[in-house]
Amino acid sequence: MSDNEIAEILMLEDSSLDADLVEEHLRIGRVANRCDRVWTREDFTAALTERHYDLILADYQLPSFDGLSALAIAQDLKPEIPFIFVSATLGEEVAIEAMKKGATDYVVKFRLNRLAGCVERALEEARVRTAQRRAEIEMLESKARLSAALAIAKLGTFQWDVASGRLVLDERSREIFGISADQSPTARDLFERVEPDDRPLLIETMKAARAAKARLEHEFRLTGSTGRTQTVVVICEWMGRGGGDPLRAVGVFGDVTERKAADERQKLLLRELHHRVKNSLATVQSIVNFTLRTSDDMRDFQVGITNRIASLSRSHTLLMKNEWGDVHLRDLILGELEPYEHGRRLTIEGPNVFLPPDLAMTFALAVHELTTNAAKYGSLSVGDGRLAVTWHDRQRECGGRELCIDWVESDGPEVKPPSRRGFGTTLLERLLGHQLGGTVEVAYPPEGAQIRICAELPERSTGTVADHASFSTT
Amino acid sequence: MPQSRLTGLTVLLAEDNLIVALDLEAALHDSGARVAGPAVRVEEALSLVAEDEPHAAILDFNLLDGAAVPVLEWMVERGLPVVICTGAGLPEDLVARFPDLPVFMKPTMPERLVEVLAERLGR
């Protein structure tokens, strides 16, 4: 119905006199309306197509058109609009025929005092029908939304009739509980799949919710037929008052195993992150102390500490890129030597070798120290100086395999052995000697410093990383 | 701190972060101590205590091959002072077992650890 309850009426009537009469009766009967009058098939069809009407009043006999054809057109175009015949001549048989074909009612012209009542009733019925249809559509839409929500949330539905024990599970609920489509499970069958440890609390919670008719939301574990333990959440409401309206639980089951596992991973990750940050801070503190001990003045300290922290930072970036997995030796060495890479003075070559995260940081810092020394006193201190870092793995005399890394400087200034062991070689010696069963040989021939680093490699057959504190090859 | 506070004593150092270990070692040397280690594994620390018979120990709690509990037990059984320096803190059961054990969270100044050891050794 249109605004303010004014009925929009389409009147099919060739006689102005009759039309006026009809309108007069509607006015007397207080049917608020706005009326359009047509009398040809074309205008009737056009009006129905173009405008909205709440009611059709049609004469049965027209010069160029007839009422039954009009009814057929209306049924075709707008079947929901009530259609009332208003005619001077309408025998009982014709009237019955018209009603059979879908007319709402009929009024003969010499009994027009019936008209207003007929119109009101037809309009009211149409209103109820419209409301019902709207409710049906809303119900369907709501069902579609619910179904989509259940699918996205991967929830299964259930209904449990408490008195009869009847249990209805949808496909997803059956999947969660491992119940095939041809089984008719009872609540007991579900309980039997719940982890024995979780049963008492589940039963207690259910009883309490049932007694209070309160919404139940509870998590419990299932011992699946597959052997893996699932975590399931149940959410349900209580319906029915008993008797003819049996008490039943209506709700959903959700498998939250993956979400639980993700939560656990997240917690673990946070703890791990905390540990790493603390470890990094401890490392920084030690580097500060060490740098302070070996610096001549504050300026020297500032440069030393900044560069060393920058090296740690680069290692962090590399580790991050590798998702905190093993780091390629080449990337690590390149990270430190990058500023000197121009002019083809560097050779960095070797097979694929990987370092685990903790080792990578320390090793990178050692390479940083060697680079700093080379840049201060060695081949990288002059434009023509060259540096080759190469590595290969080889069979050890005493069995097993080892990785040898050669750091060879050349074309630099003439080299004199330093007065004290540098931080870099100390780090390398300690790192390799203690952690990796390796060795470091340092020589200072006049043409440039030469450092050979050897470290034990785990056997190839043991996989990528045999020990979390050793080099590995793949 | 007097340079000679730990002179003539051997201190076991177990720390798997090599950079931290080097720093602690330098502080121990500064105090006049001889350093056994640094050990990065429990297994290694246990063979060091047997060989070097240290007078005291600075232990990181988590080493490469696990918790340093056996080393801690070895020291405590012999009444030798231990200082724990850890990133993660000590598990509660160990706090209960060793209520007097000084536990420092990383980062802590190495000199502070040496000082506590010296006090425990009555120096």
Above 0.90 for ipTM, yes or no? no
The pLDDT, as a whole number, for residue A434 is 67
List the beta bridge partners of residue A364: none
Average pLDDT over residues B106-114: 89
Tokens at A415, concatenated: 């080299």
The per-residue pLDDT for A13 is 92
Say yes or no for a CB contact (<8 Å) between B64 and A285.
no
**Does residue B50 register a pLDDT over 70?**
yes
**What pLDDT is recorded for position B70?**
95
- Measured between CB atoms, does B27 come within 8 Å of chain A? yes
Residue A133 contacts B where some CB pair is shorter than 8 Å:
no
A278 close contact with B: CB closer than 8 A: yes
A354 membership: H or E segment, kind and range: strand A353-355
Question: In 3D, which of A270, A86, A236, A78 has the Cα closest to residue A161?
Answer: A236
**How far apart are the two ends of chain B, measured CA to CA in Å?**
11
Domains in chain A, CATH or no CATH each = 7-133 (3.40.50.2300), 154-255 (3.30.450.20), 261-473 (3.30.565.10)
Instruction: Quote the pLDDT of residue B115.
Output: 92
| Per-position b or e across B46-82, b if 16+ CB within 10 A of its CB | bebbeeeebbbbbbbbbbbbebbeebbebbbeeebbb
Interface contact B2, partner A, CB < 8 A:
no
Nearest-angstrom CA–CA distance, A277 and A89:
98
Going A90 to A91 to A97 to A103, the CA torsion angle's sign is positive
- Spacing of C-alpha A369 from chain mean position: 46
What's the confidence (pLDDT) of residue A116?
Answer: 93
Other C-beta atoms within 10 Å of A291: how many? 20
Inspect the interface and report whether the beta carbons of A290 and B88 lie closer than 8 Å: no
For residues A7 and A33, the answer to whether their CB atoms sit within 8 Å is yes
* B43 touches A at CB < 8 Å: no
Q: Which residues pair with A220 in a beta bridge?
A: A232
- Among partner residues A278, A434, A468, which is closest to B87 by beta-carbon distance? A278
Burial class, A462, CB count within 10 angstroms (exposed 0-12 / middle 13-18 / buried 19+) = exposed
Neighbouring CB atoms inside 10 A of A343's CB total 10
Tell me the Cα Rg of chain A: 45
CB contact under 8 A, B17 and A284: no
Question: Cα(A244)–Cα(A246) distance, rounded to whole angstroms?
Answer: 6
**Structure tokens given for A10:** 């389409």
Q: How far is B67 from chain A (nearest CA, A)?
A: 15
User: How many degrees, rounded to 5, is the angle at CA A347 between CA A341 and CA A351?
Assistant: 120
Residue with token string 């509607």: A26
The 3 state secondary structure assigned to chain B is: CCCCCCCCCEEEEECCCHHHHHHHHHHHHHCCCEEEEEECCHHHHHHHHHHHCCCEEEECCEECCEECHHHHHHHHHCCCCEEEEECCCCCHHHHHHCCCCCEEECCCCHHHHHHHHHHHCCC
Token pair for residue A221? 């574990």
**Are the Cβ atoms of A278 and B106 closer than 8 angstroms?**
yes
Q: What is the pTM of this model?
A: 0.64
| Residue (of A331, A352, A367) closest to A440 by Cα position | A367
Q: CA–CA separation, B45 vs A39, rounded Å?
A: 110
Tell me the two tokens of residue A444: 């200072």
Supply the pLDDT for residue A471.
Answer: 67
The pLDDT assigned to A473 comes to 63
> Is A295 in CB contact (< 8 Å) with chain B?
no
CB B40 within 8 A of CB B64: yes
Q: What parts of chain A have a pLDDT lower than 70?
A: 1-4, 224-227, 342-343, 434, 458-474
**Are the CB atoms for A377 and A389 separated by under 8 Å?**
no
A294 touches chain B (CB under 8 A): no
Q: How far apart are CA A425 and CA A432, in angstroms?
A: 10
Q: Do A362 and B18 touch (CB under 8 A)?
A: yes
Nearest by CB: A281 against B26, B106, B109: B106
**CB spacing of A289 vs B44 below 8 angstroms:** no
Cis check for the bond before B107: say yes or no (omega within 30 of 0): yes
φ, ψ for residue B102, nearest 5 deg: -75, 125
Contact B22 A426 (CB under 8 A): yes
The reported pLDDT for the residue numbered A469 is: 54
Q: How big is chain B by its Cα radius of gyration, in Å?
A: 13
> Which of B13, B18, B24 to mutate: most A Cβ within 10 Å?
B18
Q: Who among A279, A358, A434 is closest to B87 (CB)?
A: A279
Shortest Cα distance from A294 to chain B (angstroms)?
11
Nearest neighbour of B26 by CB, restricted to A284, A293, A468: A293
pLDDT, residue A462, reads: 35
Distance from CA of A290 to the nearest CA of B (A): 6
What's the pLDDT score for residue A474?
A: 57
Give how far A331 is from chain B: nearest CA, Å: 22
Cβ–Cβ under 8 Å, residues A173 and A157: yes
Residue-level pLDDT at A459: 58
What confidence score (pLDDT) does residue B59 get?
A: 95
A309 CB within 8 Å of a chain B CB: no
Distance of CA A282 to the CA centre of its chain: 38
What dihedral angle (degrees, nearest 10) is formed by the CA atoms of A71, A73, A79, A80? -80
CB–CB contact A431 B20 (8 Å):
no
Q: Does A421 touch chain B (CB under 8 A)?
A: no
